[in-house]
Structure 1
Amino acid sequence: CLNSHESCTKQVERDGAWYPPRLIDVGVQHPKLILTSSESQVGPYATLSHCWGPNPSFLQLSKSNMDEFQNEIRLQDLPQTFRDAIEVVRWFSIRYLWIDSLCIQQSGEGSNKDWQYHASIMDRIYSKCVLNIAAAWAQSAHGGCFSTRQSEVAERCIAFARSFKGIEGIQGIRSTADSNLTAVHESPLSARGWVLQERMLSPRVLSFGQDQVFWECNKLRNGSEAYPCGFDTHTFYPVFDIPLTVSQWGCSWLWARIIEDYSGKSLSHPLEDGFVALSAIARQITQLKDDWYIAGLFWRDFPAQLLWEVKPSHSFLGRTTRPTGNYRAPTWSWASLDG
């Protein structure tokens, strides 16, 4: 991807080096937390997208253990998903890894301020990484990235040609594997509201599904072990690529698609995170459209975006749509509803 995908390498050339305030250095024997403002780090970093799970009790960064983390983070103390992610980035010879719960202070004095600052730069954290690792089928941080599978599930697809009603050369393709659309986009990870922008902003995503590994980037959409060359769909649209391929009208259409997808996802704290979990994408589109973003809508598209409606299909998925318990947005905004 870095060597041969022109549309992917353009972004790297344009951005230059940038690092989040904290990273996990996995290039040493024992991983440790580093402060990028005081270290001379060299090379790219990867990010991890994962499900926290109910009542998360795994190791997290706090005011009290920050100094200890800078000395060493013991692998045996980390949940399985984190350990697997470290193994993956080491395999790719990537030295640094960003994990939200280990790089954003979760408790103690200053944690709220630290979270607010990181939320404001979330678009940069994911768009500047070289790779996003997605633990798609793990329902918690203890589920891991890797799973035991049947080898035939990941067999490459079989292409064939046959005649049909006298027409020669009808081509077909078959595989025993599920498509990316179901294996990744309907996974437990994909149900999380925060993950939408993590996936859209990352330049390339390596997803660990239940049966196989999937790849997405600007050039290769929906690649997998069964479909190595991928196939083009509109389910994955990196935001940073919009200026090269999408018009102003296209941005408006894309925002409508994003809201439709996002509003069906779940948040642990919908009142507090409803706008924040989408803010990184909103900032990018605001800059591209040169527009004003108001309560989930864009000023120049206000008449059209006021025509939103609730789709009955959401109830079929077991979700209910209802007004938020406390004020989050005006009633004319889609954000005034949960679900």
Structure 2
Amino acid sequence: MLLHTWTHESQYGRAQSREIKQPVREKEASGVLVFMLCKVCIDGLEGMWDPSRSKRLARSQDFIKKLHPRDDGTPSDVTEQVSNSGHPSTDAPDLDSLGPNEIVYGHHKAIDSYITSMEEGCTFCNYLATMYDCEDTGNSVIEVLGYYSVFTFILLKSGESVEEPLVTLYRDKFRGDFMFVPVGDPKYDRMLNFNLGPSNHDSTTWSLIDTWMTRCLESHSLCRKPDVSEPYMPTRLLQLGSSQIGRTFRLVNGSECPPESRYVALSYCWGVKPLSGMLRLLQSTVQNLSQWQPVDDLPKTFRDAMDVAQHFGVDYIWIDRLCVYQDSAEDWQKEASCMQKLRRLSLSFDQEPAVQRSWVVQERLLAPRTLHFGREQVFWECVEAGCCETHPQVVDCFDMSDFYDEKGKEEGQELERHQFLWKPLLALSYRRHFDDPCTQLIHDWYGIAEYYVSRELTRAGDKLVAISGLANDMKNRLRELKPGPHRYLAGFWEDNLITAIGWNVLNPAERAIDYRAPSWSWACLDGHVNLLDAVQDGHDDILMLVASLIAADTEYVGSEDTGQVKSGILTLRGPCSTVQIGQKAFGTIITERVVQGFRSPEEQNHDSRPQWSEMSVIFDTWDDIRDEAFVLWIYASRFASGKWYIRGLALKWEKEDKYQRLGLVGGYFANKDDALAWIDMFPTKQISIF
């Protein structure tokens, strides 16, 4: 059996001190990738059909319901199948009589055993290794089973008769899915390749890269022509050449390059070396850089990027450190505002650990084609394909069906482009499909922003600047589809602002020390946030807005309204109350607290009220947690179960009618009438949030 793997991340908690030795699976000299499973994994997976070999702990359906009690908007009323001692209760089912797909299996008993397997290189255990940058807070649902990690097994239908095994590993608050496929099946053998070249620069790898590039240039209609109205060249580029001393480069003005010149753009990680020792474009170095310099004097990453450029017959390369003045804030802001055009006309080249950088999200999305040179293999991204050396045809999760008009395809017509503005990313290939193109754009924006905000940022002030190119792209496309201002407000779009500001953190975030965005914007925080839940609610016909937008104003540092923010204020009108806050809520977000009671601003306690359940506050940061908060209720939406969920902004008073955000408040009601009756108890106020 062979593994396909992907991860669902739900990170929360602060960075912990435990240091994990993370093995890197390099290619062997033979070019074959080697994967290894620890004894715990082998015994568990092979013993799923043998109760004496693989420990059966509980029914999987009970475990999942306990793990996600709110998936359908209802509180959990599942009868405990396992007692606090970890042993089956008296009313537990006979687990030995159940099929493998109905069981939760034991994995590692303790964290030390799990870490040992990780350090020894177990593929299965190591897939969640990237989650060790946050605190291991434990998971009571797993711990009560007497294990540190557990796994489940199901058979997924693929076509009419094929069933594909899916194993899901659970550890702490994280899970990773592993798809198993049969060895020797032509369907999968055609899609999988484990005979890789011994390095990223050998002839086998380059042959595959050439295949991807040729296929893209010759047959990908969506990739062929950049969506720009006029030619563009960056202000400065590095020209590549050669001389008696070997390969050379020099800094040139983009306006002096021949028409139709092509260039490669490099995405990379600056590293931690002192800036004083780096070769950079400064007022004092520009004259020297304008003369031919030996390529061998450059860092290896730069030399590798130049190899890529010359392999494809490209004479120019753009590297921010050498093409943007590093001692001029004015030049930096000017060049940052041009990223939309610069990236859209380039072949982008990424190298680990660059993909963890926030800037790279924009760079990957805007570039029509991107090559990632990873530690183990090379990856390719373009509008119509996402590939890697082990999946040379297409990565399984990269489904292009939503890109085309299905009816036209059936009738043999030329494929038409769907409303997607940006190409899918290998790490973010899933996206919901909406028939309305504006709705599609809005949803895609917040999905990208949710992914972007979890990436690393070297300069804290770049939070909004690093996606300004995407914001300009988005604004232009919205105006093409529907004439109007479509104002961009510190990471949000005015089109759906009331619902979009109902976001929440997924782990305790940290507020930026220096001002970069208003408190109502996700851009003021560093951490993982949940933006899509609020936006998805807003696109259904089952939405009830209870607040209205009176005014929205933002002031920017420069002339670009998608760049760095100087100030921002929202004026809203809606029902308001004060909530009393109690103990930590049952759930995975450790800054979530239970709402114990509430009153209107006129100090009137409400003892007679519609029935509500599971109301809680998710505070944005540790410092925001308190035992009372002011709330502006903004909207309610219906779940599939018929219950209604209402959201409000938890706020703190600053002066007059001005407030700052603390977090998000939410609670469930049995039906819409109860939610309306509850909202009607509170007076309506007009307040400003900054």
State the TM-score, normalizing by the size of structure 1. Answer: 0.75
Q: Report the counterpart of residue 19 of structure 1 in structure 2.
A: 233
CA distance in 1, matches of 2:436, 2:452: 20
The one of 496, 513, 519 equivalent to 1:325 is 513
The one of 499, 509, 524 equivalent to 1:336 is 524
Q: Report the counterpart of residue 73 of structure 1 in structure 2.
A: 293
The one of 215, 218, 222 equivalent to 1:7 is 222
- Are the structure 2 counterparts of residues 239 and 48 from structure 1 closer, same or farther at C-alpha, using a change threshold of 3 Å? farther
SS at match of 1:101: helix
CA distance in 2, matches of 1:192, 1:34: 27
Deviation at 1:87, TM superposition (A): 1.0
The one of 501, 507, 529 equivalent to 1:306 is 501
The one of 462, 467, 472 equivalent to 1:273 is 462
The one of 236, 256, 261 equivalent to 1:38 is 256
Q: Report the counterpart of residue 49 of structure 1 in structure 2.
A: 267
Letter in 1 for 2:261: G
SS at match of 2:252: strand
Larger mean CA deviation between 294-303 and 63-72 belongs to 63-72
SS at match of 1:33: strand
Contact 2:385 2:398 in 1 (8 A): no
Deviation at 1:28, TM superposition (A): 4.3
- Are the structure 2 counterparts of residues 301 and 97 from structure 1 closer, same or farther at C-alpha, using a change threshold of 3 Å? same
Contact 1:49 1:134 in 2 (8 A): yes
CA distance in 1, matches of 2:241, 2:341: 23
Unaligned runs of at least 5 residues, structure 1 = 138-187, 313-319
CA distance in 2, matches of 1:117, 1:230: 38
Q: Report the counterpart of residue 260 of structure 1 in structure 2.
A: 450
Larger mean CA deviation between 199-208 and 253-262 belongs to 253-262
- Are the structure 2 counterparts of residues 8 and 276 from structure 1 closer, same or farther at C-alpha, using a change threshold of 3 Å? same
Higher relative strand content: 2
The one of 189, 194, 201 equivalent to 2:359 is 194
Q: Report the counterpart of residue 178 of structure 1 in structure 2.
A: none
CA distance in 2, matches of 1:241, 1:265: 19
Aligned residues: 272
CA distance in 2, matches of 1:294, 1:281: 14
The one of 289, 305, 308 equivalent to 2:478 is 289
Contact 1:22 1:34 in 2 (8 A): yes
Contact 1:75 1:83 in 2 (8 A): yes
Deviation at 1:42, TM superposition (A): 4.5
Q: Report the counterpart of residue 147 of structure 1 in structure 2.
A: none
- Are the structure 2 counterparts of residues 96 and 239 from structure 1 closer, same or farther at C-alpha, using a change threshold of 3 Å? farther
- Are the structure 2 counterparts of residues 4 and 27 from structure 1 closer, same or farther at C-alpha, using a change threshold of 3 Å? farther
The one of 105, 110, 117 equivalent to 2:334 is 117
Letter in 1 for 2:240: V
Letter in 2 for 1:309: N
Contact 2:344 2:367 in 1 (8 A): yes
Larger mean CA deviation between 206-215 and 29-38 belongs to 29-38
Contact 1:59 1:79 in 2 (8 A): no
SS at match of 2:349: strand
Contact 2:262 2:314 in 1 (8 A): yes
Larger RCO (CA within 8 A; separation ≥ 6): 1
Unaligned runs of at least 5 residues, structure 2 = 1-215, 404-419, 425-434, 480-485, 528-690
Q: Report the counterpart of residue 165 of structure 1 in structure 2.
A: none
CA distance in 2, matches of 1:232, 1:280: 29
Deviation at 1:83, TM superposition (A): 0.7
Higher relative helix content: 1
Please report the RMSD computed on the Cα atoms of aligned residues, expressed in angstroms. 2.4
1:225 aligned onto 2:389 = yes
CA distance in 2, matches of 1:235, 1:33: 41
Q: Report the counterpart of residue 316 of structure 1 in structure 2.
A: none
The one of 350, 364, 369 equivalent to 1:134 is 350
Contact 2:237 2:316 in 1 (8 A): yes
Residues 150-178 of structure 1: per-residue CA shift (max 9 Å, x gap): xxxxxxxxxxxxxxxxxxxxxxxxxxxxx
Contact 1:200 1:239 in 2 (8 A): no
CA distance in 1, matches of 2:457, 2:423: 27
SS at match of 1:199: helix
Q: Report the counterpart of residue 304 of structure 2 in structure 1.
A: 84
Letter in 2 for 1:326: D
1:59 aligned onto 2:273 = no
Deviation at 1:282, TM superposition (A): 1.0
Deviation at 1:71, TM superposition (A): 1.4
Q: Report the counterpart of residue 247 of structure 1 in structure 2.
A: 437
Contact 1:27 1:90 in 2 (8 A): no
CA distance in 2, matches of 1:233, 1:127: 24
Deviation at 1:43, TM superposition (A): 2.4
Contact 1:61 1:102 in 2 (8 A): yes
